[in-house]
Amino acid sequence: MRNPLDLSGKRVIVTGASSGIGRATAVVLGQLGAELVLVARRQDALEETLGMLEGTGHVAACYDLTEVDGIPAWLKGVAAARGVPFDGVVHAAGLSTAIPIRILNRSRMEDLMVLNVYASLALVRGMAAKGVGADAASLVLVSSVSGLAGALGHSVYSASKGALHAMVRSAAKELAPRRMRINCVAPAWVQGPIMDVVQDIQGDGFAKVAERQFLGAISPEDVATSAAYLLSDATRTISGTTLVIDGGWTC
């Protein structure tokens, strides 16, 4: 019996692959046999990620995802250059910024919405195009528990991530005729530079975060393996949902 979690031969795009969750996802997918196109703005950082991957056939494709209108055509070009459609995408690129309501303005709101929401929608549009996304392809968007539970100073960020949860429910129905599926993963606090900064600022107060996230800290690899699960044939009947990876945070 074939292992349904095996990704051998699947061609997958990973955005935000220069660091953090995106880089961890690329490493995990490579270990599972996927052939990857790594996307970020910095070529040097993508080259570092390439050097960490198992398998062959991986390439780096620099692109600034804030250039939203160009995403569908860019994706089509990448697919044409590869000569085959993509079996999946993990959109891990995103912006996380705390903005208290009292200092909100349109520019700050747009910064978050462009990368977190508009780019996601453009990627979905691009993958839905003929010759770009394969039939039965899987799209995975990296969201956050902030889209499900409130946090001080995160009204706009929470709105951007909540929008993804709503969007995948409708997009799942539009993509269903080709058996394409789309889902979110929603982590809570993930180990990395941002978490280190929060811990330094809050000091002993950070213990409250650890207490609420009672199953422990979440690693980028925890999120990566969850994304891999949603890419795999094991989830061929799952679409339009959000997989929460929060160590118990939202309990």
Among the listed residues 63, 118, 157, 229, the single catalytic one is 157
Contact predicate 44/19, CB 8 Å? no
Instruction: For residue 204, count CB atoms less than 10 angstroms from its CB and return exposed for 0-12, middle for 13-18, buried for 19 or more.
Output: exposed
Q: Is the pTM of this model over 0.95?
A: no
192: left (phi over 0), alpha (psi -120 to 50) or beta: left
In DSSP terms, 36 is beta-bridged to: 12
Angle between helices 220-231 and 20-31 (to 10 degrees): 50
pLDDT digit string (tens) for the chain, length 251 residues: 678 889 999 999 999 999 999 999 999 999 999 999 999 999 999 999 999 999 999 999 999 999 999 999 999 999 999 999 999 999 999 888 888 889 989 998 899 999 999 999 999 999 999 999 999 999 999 999 989 888 778 899 999 999 999 999 999 999 999 999 999 999 998 876 555 545 544 555 555 666 778 888 899 999 999 999 999 999 999 999 999 999 888 88
242 contacts 143 by C-beta, under 8 angstroms:
yes
The CATH label, of 3.90.1580.10, 3.20.20.70, 3.40.50.720, 1.20.1050.10, for the domain at 11-190+222-244 is 3.40.50.720
How many residues in the chain? 251
The answer to whether residue 118 is catalytic is no
Query: Around 173, how many Cα atoms within 13 Å sit in the side-chain half-sphere?
Result: 4
